[in-house]
Every structure is written in C-alpha cells, then in structure tokens.
Chains A and B, each alone.
Chain A
Amino acid sequence: MSCSRRDFLQKAVGGTLVSALPLSAFTLLTVDEARAIVAESKTRWAFLVDTRECVGCGLCVKACKNENEIPYDAPVTRTWVERYVVTKDGETHIDSPLGGRDGFISDKIRDEEIDPDDITKAFFVPKLCNQCDNPACVQVCPVGATYQTEDGVVLVDRKWCIGCGYCIMACPYGVRFFHPVHKVADKCNFCYHRISNGRDPACVENCPFGARKIANLRDPDDPVTKIITTERVSVLKDEYGTKPHVFYLGLDANVR
C-alpha cells in the first residue's frame, strides 16, 4: 500500500479533528458548579416504627387512604398493619384484614379462634414503603417513570408510568400496587407533599401512640434521627441489599 505525503497529512489532520469532536462534549466547570454537583442533599428522609407502641387501631391506614386518595374500599393500600400471634405450639398466625384499615376489633384470625392461654406473644407491625437506597423497583422500570429524589424518597411519575407492573413484582416488601383509578403503579411516598411542606406524614400525625415517626437522617439534631443512630433498630429483609430506610424498634424474628 502506498501513501503520498499529501494523503498522510490530510488523513492525520482529519483523524485528529474527528477524535477531538467527542471531547467538545466535555465542559469545564467553575468551582461553584463542581461543588453543587458533589454536595450532599441536606435531607434524607427515613422512618421509625416502634412496634412495641402499636395497638393495631389502624387509624394510620385510614388516614393514609383518605390523605392520598386511595379508593377506600379497594383492596389496596399504601401502608398497612399486620397482626402476629405466636402460639405455644410454635406457630405464627398472621393477618391484616383490609390492611388493618378498620383496626383489629376481633380476636379471630382468619375465622380461627385462638385460646388466649395458648398465646406466647402477640403484636402489631405497621408496614410502608422502605424508600430504599438501592430501590429494586426503580431499577426495573423500563420507562424512567419511578425514581429516587435527592432527599431519598422514591416517587412514581403518574404521567409517565405505562402500568407494566414490573416494579410491583420487583419490590421485595410488596408495598407497590396498581392504582385502580389512575391505572399506574402506586406506593407510599412518606406523604411527600406533607414532608416537603413542613408537616408530618398523615399516618405519623394520626397515630395516637407515637408508634410511627419520620426522621431526617442528615439533621443530627432531629430527635428521631438520634433514636435511629443510638438505639438498637432493625430493618426488614436486610439480606436483599436494598438498604431500606424504615427502621423498626422491637422487631420480632417472626416478622417477614
């Protein structure tokens, strides 16, 4: 193969220009711009549930459904309360009628009478979205309709969601459901409209027993953050690696 000097120079200059072109996509940032990009958000929302305080009144579920316009009689809910009754034979009886919307006002569990003398322990566990650091539901969304905000809450874009249901399957905690009216995926967002405007979530405000609390983990003076960082708290399904941000006090090993 022969190559004249003219050809060589032309190709060399052309090649350099072409390879330099993608470099123009990079921009030089000012110091302030660079700082803004690496700066941490001032807020990271987290939740604290004290299962020892919960009496199973279900007022949180009722408030949540009203606040977030979740059809009241549809069998879907953003938060729910589970009842665990452990008997002497080692069995765990679990129920959550209507998600605990009407409270637990009967000692029957799935139409089964349980002799109070057989009970070794019994308690209530409120559940809600864990606003994970590594949310599996966000990873699987094919259209970018669900995402994590800079303060850690996972939101669903109702205009963008196509209702494919991948996220509902992906969530290890089962907190997502198909909204029967909007026909999109729906989930607890810690009442994002309330916490962003200086209020507590509806379930926190309406819990008479202080069993549910909201915390800003980036605020060291937040009393609930102090509990989370100094007391013995646990999370649900730690082994999934999703880094959930709903912390539980007094969680029993039977809780799944």
Chain B
Amino acid sequence: MKWHVLRPLWLAIGLIAAILVARQFMVPDDFGVHGDSFTYNYHRLSNVQEWKDFPAKYLGRESCIECHEENFQKNQASPHAPIECENCHGPGAGHPDDIEYLPLNTTRELCLRCHESLEYPSSRRADLPNIRNRTHKRRRECISCHNPHDPREDDE
C-alpha cells in the first residue's frame, strides 16, 4: 500500500494501542460486573465497602442513657418519649470526647415544627396539642414555661 495510506492507519492503530495500555493501568482491578446484570451491576466493588464505612453522626438515645439516665427516664415516661434526644440536642457523634457540649436547640421554631396549629383535617398534625405562633406568648422561648423532657409539668 502507498505510504500516504499507511501512515494514518499506523497512527490510528498506535492511538488505540496507547489507550488500551493506559486503560490497563487506570481501571481498578475490582471494576467489573458484580451481580447478574451488566446494566445495573457494573461498578467498582470496593466502593460498596467505602459507603459502609461512612461515619454515622446520629447515635440514638441508647448512647445517651449511660450518662444521662435521669433525663432519659423522665423523657421516656412523658408524651415526648418518641422524640429522639438528638432531635433537639444535635447529633451525638464525637460527644463527649471531642465535643463537650452539644449544640442544644431551644428556639420556638423547633417546637413549632409539631405544635404550630395547622387546620388540616386529614393530617395527624391537627391531633397534636397546638398553638398559634402569632398569638401565643410571642417573645418567650417555649422552655421558659414548658419542660421539653416532660411537657406535662409546667415550671411556672
């Protein structure tokens, strides 16, 4: 064949070879079909473990009992029992070793998430004890009168 035909041909072949060689080094060994479907199971296997090792931030109320037994018992006997400690106190990861005090949220807005009155006939919101934010003790924090661990007892 003539040189002007062969030259681009060799160039193309060389390029493809270079890509194939580079691919050998750049694609991880565990990349492939891990499962029964090429469409859905084609991936890097070690990524599954990477996601399993993602650190958890919320530890659950069981991790609070050890030191805060009193508050835990009080809360569990109250209508607020289903509310996790970390919903108001913040995620517990790192406490108490790295974070001595968790960022306690005492704003009205936190309580209003459940207790602002919304007159929705087919929603459970209407069944909860509720107030109107606009008219109910505008300038005070809820906790100045209500105890969030046991809302049945009023401090006032």
Q: Could you list which residues of chain A lie within 8 angstroms of chain B, going by C-beta atoms?
A: 37, 52-59, 62-63, 66-68, 85, 102-107, 116, 119-124, 134-135, 138-139, 144-150, 155, 157, 159-160, 189, 191-194, 196-197, 199, 202, 205-206, 208-210
Contact = CB atoms under 8 A, between A and B. Distances in A.
Contact of A206 (B37, B51, B87, B128): B87
Interface string B114-127: 10101111111100
A160 B57 contact: no
Given A56-B123, A123-B123, A149-B48, 7 more contacts: A55-B128, A57-B113, A103-B114, A144-B43, A191-B56, A199-B56, A206-B87
Interface string B99-111: 0000000000100
Identify whether the interface residues of A are mostly helix, strand, loop, or mixed: loop
Contact of A119 (B52, B60, B119, B133): B119
Identify whether the interface residues of B are mostly helix, strand, loop, or mixed: loop
Given A144-B31, A147-B42, A150-B35, A107 B118 contact: yes
Interface residues of B, number: 44
Given A55-B123, A58-B113, A121-B122, A193 B43 contact: no
Contacts of B51: 155, 189, 192-193, 196
Nearest to A206: B84
A67 B42 contact: no
12 contacts: A52-B122, A56-B123, A59-B87, A102-B109, A116-B119, A123-B122, A144-B42, A146-B43, A150-B35, A155-B48, A205-B60, A206-B87
B148 interface: no
Contacts of B116: 104-106
A148 to B, nearest CB: 4
